[in-house]
Amino acid sequence: MVGSLSGRTLEGVGPVLGFVAVGLGCALANLRSLNNLVLGTDLARGLGERLWRARLMGLGAVTFLTAAAVALTGPIGFIGLTAPHVARALVGGDHHRLVPASALVGVVALLACDVVGRLVGGQAEVAVGVVLAILGGLAFVVIVRRTRLAAL
């Protein structure tokens, strides 16, 4: 089973707004901590970061936002893998810009793949999860290959 945007209406958004609000609150409250954690655990601890708090807030953000998204659309893979990498290439590594850019890239990718699935499938439209798995898989391979070449 893959997720789909087909047949979804705005009535489904109401019940998950609480989860989205809590998840966004956790994510926004954790942005400075994420920038510190990128430096490494020892340096982050030296900067006064409470590692357990930062990790717990990050886990809360991921859990609540993922739960809301899956409740609305079903499981859609590769969007969480590719969107942050593409966004990092566009805006850099500062999480104050990276988190909103990742959300925007994810939305644009999801809607673009939905349109492609509707156009390619004709009457029997292809689910957005299938299109995103194909295109997202290709994008992820390109990202991984570039990363390896840069490391050499």
* Residue 148 reports pLDDT greater than 70: no
Residue ranges of domains in the chain: 1-74, 76-152
Whose tokens are 């104050």? That residue is 96
Please give the mean pLDDT across all residues of the chain: 88
User: What would the mean pLDDT of 120-140 be, rounded to a whole number?
Assistant: 83
Radius of gyration of the chain (CA): 17
| CB proximity list for 21: less than 8 A, separation 6 or greater | none
- Which alpha helices (DSSP H) does the chain contain, by range? 17-29, 31-37, 41-46, 51-73, 79-91, 95-121, 128-151
pLDDT tens-digit series, residues 67-117: 999 999 888 878 888 889 889 989 999 999 999 999 999 999 999 988 888
Q: Tell the burial category of 77 from Cβ atoms under 10 Å away from its Cβ (0-12, 13-18, 19+).
A: middle
What pLDDT is attached to residue 149?
56
What pLDDT is attached to residue 100?
94
* Residue 58 reports pLDDT greater than 80: yes
Encoding tokens for residue 51? 């590692």
pTM above 0.95, yes or no: no
pLDDT tens-digit series, residues 5-29: 888 888 889 999 999 999 999 999 9
What pLDDT is attached to residue 48?
93
pLDDT tens-digit series, residues 24-45: 999 999 999 999 999 999 999 9
